[in-house]
Structure 1
Amino acid sequence: MTIIAVDGFTHKVNLTQVVKTVAKAVQGHFEALNFYNHPDRGPFKTCYLKLSDRLDPRAVVERINNTMHAKKLSAYIPDSVPNMQVAVKRKAMPLKMRKRMRIHGECSPEQVFLTAHEQIMKEMQHKYTGLYSLSSKTSHKLLETIGVVIADRLKKLILSGDPNDQSFRLTSRYRKAHPHFGDFQLILSTLHRIQDASGTPRTQLHENELAAVPKDVSAVDNVPYSKAQEMCAKYTNNIVMKLQAYVNKYNLAVKPNDTEEDKARKTIQKQFANMMPYLPMMLKQVITHHFTPNNKGGLCRMIIYGEPYLPAKEASLPFLKSHRAVRAQRCPRMFNALSFHVTRDRYAKLLAANGTSVAGTKLIVRPARNNLYNMPHALRSKIAHEVAQAFKSRER
């Protein structure tokens, strides 16, 4: 924890205004503790800020002095902090401001590494929709091996960069070092190595086929709506048959030597048996309402990846408006991802717009629900531990 002082605030300024004024220069997490009126400062007062441990106080002071001179503010690291009362409600950056400035939660290097690794793996599987199915034929050795390669790349990047980098910036650095056009070659060469090692013939892949997206607007996790509806009906009938067989085994005759508990249980069983003629209809209504996917109204969650980066908001807004996108939100962890929702009648048209060029970038449009493979937790934890140990060694 480090505390710095910022001079030059008038008496009308409050802590919230201080945070908004210096947030851009601080570039990280901090709290405004309170003001202190130094006798020699005249009409101006000093605000003390508590900086995150991940911020370099000297760099923060330098940025404030270089960018805030027009506002007549100056910052320094005090030799001692005056005995002042800390505000009851310390002021930190609001969530919206942190999102806008892309300042995320304070995370350790290994947490940043794990988040960035997860996001890169998701992007690759969203783009290449057939990758999960292809990997399953190798007992997921394909995606696991690719995950190890990506982890090694990220490890080198995170150790050579700023220790304060968050996953948003780390994923951006990854794509500058390893552009999108190399992903398919990574998949193909990894698959062939696995097949050569197992003695199986090499599979000939075409990038367009691997990246094909089902055009069925009613698909649920790549399962057509008609198939999902058929499976719901099948299991509804199975449940009814099981219940009927269970009820048929009831012995509802009350015997003289039955206990009160036995009599109560048989009374309940009799009531349940009386409901059996109506149970199939009730089950069908419940499953149709709660489990069968809706083929009519509702919204589909979509995701867009920009290659090599996501266009600016002003450039991408016309594209989103033309498809009536709602709830659009840029991913705070992945530098080139944007999620939003569209109505089902716009789904097919939006997928047809895949590959659209906007402001010199290529838009990869995908449904957000896909089968995604996650690397084994033990393997990811092992690599993250290696990252943490490497950081500790670097700091010594």
Structure 2
Amino acid sequence: MSVIALTGVPKNLKINQVLKPLKSSIKGHFEAMNVTNNKNKNDRTAFLRLSEKLDPVEVVEIINSRNTGSLRAYIPKEIPDFPISYQNVEKMSPFKLLTISIGAILQEMQSKYGGLYDLSNCTAHKLIQDIAKTLYKRLRIILEQDGAEIDGCLRLTKTYRKRHPHFADFQLILSTLHSIQDAEEKPRDQIHECDLLAFAVHSYVIDSIPFEKVQVAYLKYLDKITATVMEHVTNLDMTPKNTSPEEIARIKIREQLKTLIPYLPACVKHATEHHFVPEEANVHIVHLYGEPALPSKESLLPFFKRHKVMSTTRSDCMYNLIMLEVPKSKYLGVLGADGTLVGSIKLVIRPSNLPCYKMSESSIRSIQSSYHKQTMADDVGGEDEWFSGTYY
């Protein structure tokens, strides 16, 4: 066990806000012990406990080389006796680890192969479900062999890609599809990789519906809404039922409504268009994957500047994924940069709103159960003790 200190921690930030960006720098388990206020300063010093597998000198050098703000790491001469108050990640069961990682890899495959969703839909999504079974078996083997070194989904997905590179994904898709077709005694579809790589670009979506379709639907129902309102006002009963003040007021209001009949279509349109069809956002989210891994932040800076990237967020579970916020005016340009090479690394750039089939937790549990039945003959105890543990 070793301890390092971080000075320059702003007082207005919670300690977990400071730790989150460090996950990509510190490749291992660590936890915050506590923080102290610096005298006559507006910042604080945080103390981190590192696992035995981490070299404190190397961790300090990595943090200082990658951080451009006021935060600086060093090895303290004295270590305060603090209780543990925070952890950089929550404890995660192996099942949860597998579930999240399978979902992340499936999302990457469906993002890269824009036609995979529709192809899978033709099989009632048995195609993606069977691919998930293969992913489960592969990831399970990794955890069984290297579980001690796997400290989270980032490490697990990265290890998976080292053993099963991206270029093998298409063959996995094709062989899985052919297995399904063989079992159903159907002829095999001959699909080329370039056919699956195509994807449709929608400039904007509302609840996964393309903006253009929302506008068409609005105009369609606007006429029906207007006709209904016009009919209602035209047929209002103008005969008073009694002489009460309330009834007289009601008749006068109806008289005023009838005078508005020529203007009702414009009134209905004005009242509905801004509520039924939200304005198109000026910012779009783009997914950027690196194959075989993400380039360094420094090597991506020219790309970000060229496309006016407003902000970047690295995925918490997929090691090679960054989410980009780009202006509306640069959206198509960024997508057009798909396939860009940064050194020897290929950038796969996709819209964040592509259709994606997601495996439910119950489906993963069904895969788990099926996997154990197949391997039960080799399990002496019958119970899966491995799954009762926890990973970090």
TM-score, normalised to structure 1, is 0.68
Change (3 A) 1:251 1:365: same
Q: Does structure 1 retain, via aligned residues, the 8 Å contact 2:95–2:387?
A: no
Count of aligned pairs between the two proteins: 347
Q: Compared with structure 1, are the counterparts of its residues 324 and 192 closer, same or farther at alpha carbon in structure 2 (3 Å cutoff)?
A: same
Q: 2:104 aligns with which of 119, 124, 143?
A: 119
Superposed CA deviations along residues 123-172 of structure 1, whole A, max 9, x for unmatched, are 11111111111111211111222122222222222333335621111111
Give 3-state SS (helix, strand or coil) of 2:187's partner: coil
Q: CA deviation at 1:322?
A: 1.0
Query: What residue number does 2:386 align with?
Result: 391
Shift of 1:250: 6.3
Counterpart for residue 147 of structure 2: 162
1:322 aligned to which of 293, 297, 306? 306
Q: Deviations over 1:317-355 (max 9, x none)?
A: 111111111111221221001111222332222222111
Write the deviation string for residues 228-281 of structure 1: whole angstroms up to 9, x where unpaired: 4222211222333455566677667554699x9x99999999988887765543
Change in 2 beyond 3 A, CA 1:196/1:252: farther
Q: Which runs of 5+ in 1 are unaligned?
A: 35-48, 76-83, 94-102
Could you say if the C-alpha distance between residues 135 and 65 of structure 1 is closer, same or farther in structure 2, counting changes exceeding 3 Å?
A: closer
Query: 2:30 maps to what in 1?
Result: 28
Answer yes or no: is the 8 Å Cα contact 1:228–1:293 preserved in 2: no
| Paired AA for residue 229 in structure 1 | Q
Task: Select 1:366's aligned residue among 338, 350, 362.
Answer: 350
The letter for the 2-side match of 1:187 is: I
TM-score (norm 2): 0.69
3-state secondary structure, aligned to 1:339 = strand
RMSD over aligned Cα, in angstroms? 4.8
- Cα distance between partner residues in 2 of 1:162 and 1:134: 34
Could you say which structure has the greater relative contact order, defined with CA pairs below 8 angstroms and 6 or more residues apart? 2
Counterpart Cα distance in 1 of 2:384 and 2:257 = 62
More deviation in 140-149 or 277-286?
A: 277-286
Distance in 2 of aligned mates of 1:230 and 1:390 = 56
Contact 1:180 1:308 (C-alpha < 8 Å) held by counterparts? yes
Residue 67 and residue 226 in structure 1: after superposition, are their counterparts in 2 closer, same or farther (change >3 A)? closer
Note the 1:340-359 alignment, pairs <5 A: 340-359=324-343
| 1:254-273 paired onto structure 2 within 5 Å | 255=241
Secondary structure of the corresponding residue to residue 29 of structure 1: strand
Equivalent residues in 2 for 1:293-332 (5 A)?
Answer: 294=279, 298-332=282-316
**Contact 1:64 1:74 (C-alpha < 8 Å) held by counterparts:** no
* 1:391 counterpart letter in structure 2: W
Q: How many angstroms apart in 1 are the aligned matches of 2:326 and 2:177? A: 35
The 8 Å contact of residues 205 and 353 in structure 2, kept in 1 or not, is answered as no
Give the 3-state SS of the residue equivalent to 1:334 in structure 2.
Answer: coil
Name the stretch that deviates more: 323-332 or 209-218. 209-218
Q: Given the superposition, is the C-alpha separation of residues 131 and 285 from structure 1 closer, same or farther in structure 2, using an over 3 Å criterion?
A: farther
1:173 pairs with 142, 159, 165, which one? Answer: 159
Distance in 2, matches of 1:193 and 1:122, equals 22
For 2:178 and 2:239, the matched residues in 1 are separated by 69
SS of 1:332 mapped into structure 2: coil
Any stretches of 5+ residues in structure 2 without a counterpart?
A: 37-46, 61-73, 373-382
- Kindly provide the amino acid, as one letter, of the partner of residue 135 in structure 2: I
| Equivalent residue runs for 1:4-23 within 5 Å | none
Q: Percent identity?
A: 32
Report the CA distance shift for 1:134/1:273 in structure 2 as closer, same or farther (over 3 A): farther
